[in-house]
Amino acid sequence: MQKIGLLYHPKIEESLRLAGDLDGLLTSRGLSTWVGSAWKDQEAKEHIPNLDLIVTFGGDGTILRAARMAALHGTPILSVNLGRFGFLAEAQPDEVAKVMDRVLSGDYWLEERSMLHAELLRQGELEDAFEALNDVVVGHSTISRVVRLEAFADGEHLANYVADGLIVATPTGSTAYSLAAGGPILHPGLRDILLTPIAAHRALERSLVLPAESVIEIRLSTEYTAVLTIDGQIETELVDGDRVSVSVSPYICRLVRTQPTSYFGRNLLNRLKQ
């Protein structure tokens, strides 16, 4: 690894400090670095294609931002946890130098996490497309009104929902919004697709786990404003009749790990106790 990008959270002072410290360490060893804000997407997108590694300093949200950009180029991510839960994080702030030494010496492995590809269709035309590491959510906007959704899998009718919304999640996203909505936890090594309704009314209340080959289509019927949300960070307003198609993305998020490959169960229990 010769070119390393350091993405800091602009609202966390410690994030910028840690990025600066690691920048000094790496440049002293003759490595090329770039330091940038995780919130400046356009600037990051210009640098990421030339990087061998991205190091994030923040919570899971910072990793999600980096993942959507890095996956397009296969760039691996090493995450330093400055958030509350840190489900995706690899290193704690006081471990940065030690973990970085192991990575630079080749003592690490790459964990591959599946992502989702979502397409917004309006009047039969493609309106926009997105990649997501955690989830794709179709739900109501600021008004507390239910939305009516029809879900199809591979063209076959699956279920009708009268609910606050519907979460389509990856195994990674099963520990995020879907878990809060009562969904199960899936091992991150799986590629299945998880459907979890949000506060369902007179509808299927249980989550559904579908195979990775499935193509999910959600058809919206609403008199009120609804939104499509990607990883809890990107919002697009929806109108009555819109359709959202979701499938497993051709892109993969690659996370740098120095922990044992069996780390997930131990970390999950520790995070849920917080």
Examine the pLDDT at 77 and tell me if it is beyond 70: yes
What's the pLDDT tens digit per position in 79-133?
999 987 678 989 999 999 999 999 999 999 999 999 999 999 999 999 999 999 9
Question: Of all residues in the chain, what percent carry a pLDDT higher than 70?
Answer: 96
Within a 10 A sphere around the Cβ of 274, how many other Cβ atoms? Answer: 7
Reply yes or no on whether 128 is catalytic.
no
pLDDT value at residue 212: 97
Within a 10 A sphere around the Cβ of 93, how many other Cβ atoms? Answer: 14
What's the pLDDT tens digit per position in 4-54?
999 999 999 999 999 999 999 999 999 999 999 999 999 999 999 999 999
Question: Of all residues in the chain, what percent carry a pLDDT higher than 90?
Answer: 85
Domains of the chain: 3-108+258-272 (3.40.50.10330), 115-250 (2.60.200.30)
Active-site option among 60, 135, 192, 231: 60
pLDDT value at residue 239: 93
User: Which string of DSSP letters, residue by residue, matches the chain?
Assistant: --EEEEEE-TT-HHHHHHHHHHHHHHHHTT-EEEEEETT-HHHHHHHGGG-SEEEEEESHHHHHHHHHHHGGGT--EEEEE-SSS-SS--B-GGGHHHHHHHHHTT--EEEEEEEEEEEEEETTEEEEEEEESSEEEEEE-SS---EEEEEEETTEEEEEEEESEEEEE-TGGGGTHHHHTTPPP--TT---EEEEEES-SSS--S-EEE-TT-EEEEEEE-SS-EEEEETTTEEEEE-TT-EEEEEEEEEEEEEEE-S-TTHHHHHHHHHHT-
Label residues 144-174 b or e (16+ Cβ within 10 Å = b).
eebbbbebbbeeeebbebbbbbbbbbbbbbb
Q: At what angle do helices 96-104 and 13-28 cross, to 10 degrees?
A: 40
d(CA 155, CA 41) in angstroms, rounded, equals 35
Confidence of residue 247 (pLDDT cuts 50, 70, 90): very high
Vertex 132 angle, CA 127 and 136, to 5°: 70
First to last CA, the chain: 35
Q: Taking residues 203-218, what's their average pLDDT?
A: 93
Confidence of residue 274 (pLDDT cuts 50, 70, 90): low
Residue with tokens 């030339």: 50
Within a 10 A sphere around the Cβ of 35, how many other Cβ atoms? Answer: 17
Beta-ladder partners of 163: 147
